[in-house]
Amino acid sequence: MRILSPTPTLPNVDDVRIARPRDTLQLCLRQLRGVMYSVVRNPWLLTFVGVALVLAVIGKVVLALLAACVGVVFLYGGWIALSVATGLKVFVIHSQGGRFAASIGLLRTRRGWLIDDHTAARPGSNQGAALRSLLGPALAADADSKGVTILTRAATAKLSERYAGSLPGLHRAPGQERRKRGIRMVREPSAPVSPTAE
C-alpha cells in the first residue's frame, strides 16, 4: 500500500526552483496576501470580514484579534517550514529578474499530487499563468513516468479552463459543476510507452 505519492522532480526550467526552508517566511506572506486578494474580490467573504471587524471593534477585542492574526502567521509559517523540510509539500518558485514572481504548492498525498497554494507577487498580473505554462508540460511528463494522478481545485469555471490549458490532460472531475469549495479537476497518468511498441 502506497502511503504517499513519489516526490515530483523539478524540470530544468530557467528561473524555476524548489523552495528551500529559508523561503518559508516569503511563501507564508505571499499566501496570506493571496487570501486577502481573494477576500476583496468575493462579496460574500468581504461581507463576512467586514461584519467580523465591526463586531471586533464593538466588542473591544482588537488586541485579541491581532494576537490571533500573529498566531495564524506563525502557525501557517510553521506548517510551510515543516512541509518544505520533510518534503511532504514541494513549493515551486518562479523568479523574474532574480525576484519572486509566483509559486505553486504540490502536496504529496496517497491519491497523487495535489496542486494548491497558487501565489503571485502581483495577483492578477499573469505571473501565476507564466509559472503554470513553464511547469505544466514537464510536470505532466513526470507524473506519467511515475504513474501519479494530479489533482487540483479551481475557484471558478474561467480558472478551470486556464488550468486545463496549462497542464495537458487536466480536466474537470465528473459531476463537477460549480461547488462551494471550487471545481475539482483531475489528470490521470497516461500509460507509459513501452520501448517495443515502436
Q: pLDDT-derived band of residue 198, with 50, 70 and 90 as boundaries?
A: very low
Alpha-carbon span 179 to 193, nearest angstrom: 36
pLDDT over threshold 80, residue 108: yes
Structure pTM? 0.67
Work out the average pLDDT over 118-139. 82
- Report which of residues 93 and 154 the model is more confident about: 154
pLDDT over threshold 90, residue 187: yes
Alpha-carbon span 137 to 140, nearest angstrom: 5
List of domains in the chain: 16-190 (3.40.630.30)
DSSP strand E in the chain: where?
16-18, 89-96, 99-108, 113-120, 150-154, 171-172, 183-187
- Report which of residues 162 and 177 the model is more confident about: 162
What is the residue type of 7? Answer: T
Alpha-carbon span 93 to 107, nearest angstrom: 14
